Structure 1
């Protein structure tokens, strides 16, 4: 081996050793710096001090018990009251046919019968307390909106004449008023003979007959 080659190898070895040494030095320097830079972790005083007060416990909200009322049972609807309609009293036997007024003295009742022989209206009246009207067939003779008693004792309305008594006309009219303006009888007294000869009616019924019966209308009087 020549000296030139030997010297060359020595130079390369020295270079490797120098590089290795430099690497070791750098590593130590960096490691030391790392040790000097990193801060020391200190234990948490609160965690280490067992005598420290524990955090206050969180109170849970009080939940009141909600009571759901049981629905009351539905009441059955009250049965609708049924108004009983009184049957229409039958017409007396032998009371004729067609459009007419029927007055039955025993029942003290009047019927207004239309052209189809159908009862349009019926109601109680107060006829004569004397035997001055014979059963039979009559006709409306005249009508007066206002009239006076034959003896001057009072007045009446809606007078419909159909017969003549002993000396004075007989007809249907409203319950008379005396000279002081007082009715001579009550509605409750209808159905009882109380007049001196005519047929007394409550005012709405007197108006109904007045409208129903033009002059010439048939009137049937039964016993």
Structure 2
């Protein structure tokens, strides 16, 4: 009788393991494309093409970019949205990316500087920092001379460059604690 009970338990255990294996396989097949991949934290190779989400409406706020007042930054589109109450876009503009991209996710503005020298040696104003990667602080800034030239691809920099007018708007909007959402 004891060996019969042991056989039943072994059979049930085997059946349970098979069921778990089947369910695990089904679950892994249902993971949406891209969720199982890690995001590179560096910019694409110089000259790599970047396609906007919607070629007819490149200024449209990306879906799944959060709710409430926030800054949204699209790494792939090199575009920023300042989103106010009611999920209304107050301003959107293109930026020149740094050589180090922040990973997609939600951050908050952690520090600000009115005028400093950027990690690339260029005097900048209205610096709004929200994260760091590869040993550099990442944030938005405007060059005092108004330039938005692409940074040296061989030097890690974290300054996402805006025009001076866009930098002024960011400075007024993105105070300490303001949410910054980074999307691919």
The Cα offsets for residues 18-41 of structure 1, whole Å up to 9 and x where unpaired, read as xxxxxxxxxxxxxxxxxxxxxxxx
Is the CA contact 1:176–1:184 (under 8 Å) kept in the aligned structure 2? no
Distance in 1 between the 2:144 and 2:97 partners? 13
Q: How many residues align?
A: 125
Name 1:203's counterpart in structure 2.
164
Aligned residue runs from structure 1 range 86-101, under 5 A: 89-101=59-71
More strand by share: 2
Distance across 1 between alignment mates of 2:57 and 2:77: 15
How far did 1:149 drift? 2.2
- Aligned-residue Cα RMSD (Å) equals 2.4
TM-score (norm 1): 0.51
After TM superposition, where is structure 1 displaced by more than 4 Å over at least 4 residues in a row?
none
Structure 2 stretches lacking a partner, 5+ long: 1-55
1:158 to partner: Cα distance: 0.3
Map of 2:141 onto structure 1: 173
**Which residue of 1 is the match for residue 127 of structure 2?**
159
Partners of 1:216 and 1:129 in 2: CA distance: 25
Give 1:129 deviation, angstroms: 3.2
Aligned with 1:120: secondary structure? strand
Cα displacement (A) at 1:155: 1.1
- Determine if the alignment matches structure 1 residue 150 to structure 2 residue 114: no
Structure 1 residue 128: deviation in Å? 2.1
C-alpha contact 2:69 2:83 (8 A) present in aligned 1: yes
Which runs of no fewer than 5 residues in structure 1 stay unpaired?
A: 1-85
Q: Matched residues in 2 for 1:123 and 1:184: separation?
A: 13
For the pair shown, which has the larger CA radius of gyration, 1 or 2? Answer: 1
Aligned mates of 1:197, 1:112 — CA distance in 2: 20
